[in-house]
Chains A and B, each alone.
Chain A
Amino acid sequence: MAPLCLGAAALASAVCALSLGTPYVPPARLPATLGADGLAGLVVTELRLPRLVLALIAGACLGAAGLVLQEALRNPLAVPEMLGVSSGAALGVAAPLVLALTVPLGLQPFLALAGAALGGLLTLVAAGFGRSPSAVLLTGAAVAAALQAGLLVLMVMADQLDLQLIYRYLLGSLSARTWDDVTGLLPWLAVAVPALVLCVPVLGVLRLGDDDARALGVRVERARVAALGIAVVLIAPVVAVCGPVAWVGFLAPHLARRLRPDGGAAGWLVRSAVCGAIVVLCADQPARLALAPVETPVGAWTALVGVPVGVVLLKRGRRPARNRGPLAPPVPGTPPDLPAPVLRKAER
């Protein structure tokens, strides 16, 4: 039932994305308009279609990255926004804008990459590579706050015009993106997708807990850094092109788990990417149309809807988890507290 609903929502949003707006193109005439000459054809093929594709790709990347992070850190709340990855990437893109440095367009993803890697690594290292899942979140919140403060300092320094620009960018927007932006994402996808395929089995092992994973021959710290690296490669180009579209990486994995509670890491990864794509596509429609001539940023909508819905899903998902087994493994810590007393007994 749920997959059908999602598919219907996606289809409806796609039709909306292509036909609504000025000029209005009736859905029945869409196939004819695609690629045709004239104003309507131009608007549909050169503006609306790339925007649709970009929304799908961005959502898929963010959703997959969210799932990778959540599984690698074994924490349903470990999302890019909470780990300083998103803020780092945004800082990397916004800094040259304010400091009036001219940066070629091709370099922007690399700046975002550097910022995201900085934020994520800082969190991971300061939290001791995720031994305690809740410490990761707390550290991440601190890192994210510091990076956010850096962004705000930049905004205070900027003049009015730059300020509006940065603010729009920081909320995440898909407006006025063309095929160039979409093709700019493709090389990154070519790197990220094989890496995702390679990391799926490791993610499945990491879910068992640090000790079991180590017993099975996974070097946990290294695996976590690798997972973070993959997530950064997925997130950074998206942030460079459309800004940090917030909390998609939180909502999509939870939707995916809800769709198929007993699926493994691989099933969830695919579903999470699909859910992310659908979420961003759906959120882009109100962003385009709600305040009609003015565009609202899609990130504001995903944040406003994504966080409450994600929290509800998280709380729902937890309750059956206690009866049914490992659905979303809750705070595991170091499971066996046994050794210490046993040792003590042995000493006696």
Chain B
Amino acid sequence: MTLIETVPGPARRALRAPGVRMACLALLVAAVACADLFAGRGVTPEGVREVLLGGGDPTAEHIVLQLRLPRLLVALVAGACLGVAGLVLQSALRNPLAGPEVTGVTPGAVLGAVAATGLGLAGWESPTAVVVAACLGGFAGAGLLWLLAGREAGDPEQTAVYGVLVSAVLAGLTAVVLLVAPGELGSVVQWLIGSTEGRVWQHWNLLWPWAAFWGAAAWLLAGPLTLLRCGDEQASAAGLATGRGRGAALVCAVALTAGAVSAVGALGFVGLLVPHLALAVFGADLRITLPGAALLGATVVCGADAAAQLLSRLLATALEADRLTLPVGALTTFVGAGLLMAVARRRADER
């Protein structure tokens, strides 16, 4: 801030631009949230409007206030968590391909959550245990990747490939756990792909304090992370203890991912691609870009949720199936995979 006060003119203008962009993004979030609230089956848009204005029949009121609203909030916060976690990871590891999905964090968190549920240590009665287990699993996955890639983590693509291998091992372990407890399979499948179906206020009550705490921690780390992005030599020359800073950032990223995974499951590619979008929109100053990534992540997940609901309605009418739901995770994974393919293609052409 002092920088801006001492340097007038261009710097001020530079600040104004991100401010405008942030406001636009906030508007976009609001629009997407509205869309998510009005999409979906059971209640007509007029019914939703009546409920929001304080009227409507009890069924509509229940659906909107007890089902759609918590679902919307959970989607927003989980998306924000994933976006921030991805940006923190990519900055701390200086690897543009380090999303939580390809560093073993998400599969590890899924394994932790599934294992805790399958072995009876945690259930819907004790949701805190799920978060803790997901957190432990996330750390285990990240640790496994670190063991594997080790010190030769210089090549981003090599690390990403190792990350895929780690994910394979963790998925195998998840499968074994599911074999031991086959009764859980039906409920866990939703988790494996990432879904916002049936999220209620309890999920929200659990998610937001966790997200707020670790989000604040991530924002406090924005300065050190910006330095880390410039490289270890520059960072330590500027007086940063790089090892400690990186460790704190990783803890933060894993905690955020674990929170999101325990709430909505493994949403594919959100944590990998949202940071790139945020960096493209807001630039490299993480003090601005971190909140931007949070907003963008919320927009993406919530928009995907709304789109998924609309699509599953369309599909249901087209196929004449009475119950057909497209999980959000499927949509984000399909879109994300397409984007990733385009990116890989471009990188190959550049060489």
Contacts and interface: CB of A to CB of B under 8 A. Distances in A.
B182 interface: yes
A304 B169 contact: yes
A297 B148 contact: no
Contacts of A128: 345, 348-349
A141 B185 contact: no
A307 B145 CA distance: 13
Contact of A307 (B157, B168, B175, B192): B168
The size bracket of the interface on B is 35 or more
B330 A152 contact: yes
Contacts, number: 133
14 contacts: A126-B341, A132-B347, A132-B348, A139-B341, A142-B337, A143-B337, A146-B334, A146-B337, A149-B333, A153-B193, A156-B327, A303-B171, A308-B169, A333-B351
B335 to A, nearest CB: 9
Interface in B166-220: 168-169, 171-173, 175-176, 178-179, 182, 185-186, 189-190, 192-193, 195
Given A145-B333, A156-B193, A296 B344 contact: no
A178 B348 CA distance: 46
B288 interface: no
B348 A163 contact: no
Contact of B345 (A137, A139, A160, A164): A139
Contact of B161 (A127, A134, A163): A134
B25 interface: no
B282 interface: no
Given A139-B341, A163-B189, A156 B325 contact: yes
B138 interface: no
A200 B175 CA distance: 36
B326 interface: yes
Given A135-B348, A145-B333, A333-B351, A153 B186 contact: no
A297 B17 CA distance: 57
Contact of A167 (B185, B190, B333, B340): B185
Contact of B329 (A139, A152, A246, A247): A152
Interface in A299-319: 300, 303-304, 307-308, 311
The size bracket of the interface on A is 35 or more
Contact of A142 (B148, B340, B349): B340
Interface-centre pick from B102, B269, B324, B337 (highest chain A CB count, 10 A): B337
Nearest to B150: A315
Interface of B: 97, 102, 148, 157-158, 160-162, 164-165, 168-169, 171-173, 175-176, 178-179, 182, 185-186, 189-190, 192-193, 195, 268-269, 324-327, 329-330, 333-334, 336-338, 340-341, 343-345, 347-349, 351
B176 A300 contact: yes
Contacts of A296: 176, 179
Contact of B173 (A77, A157, A297, A304): A304
A149 B330 contact: yes
B176 A304 contact: yes
Interface-centre pick from B168, B186, B338 (highest chain A CB count, 10 A): B168
A163 to B, nearest CB: 6
Nearest to B347: A135
Contacts of B337: 142-143, 145-146, 149
B175 A300 contact: yes
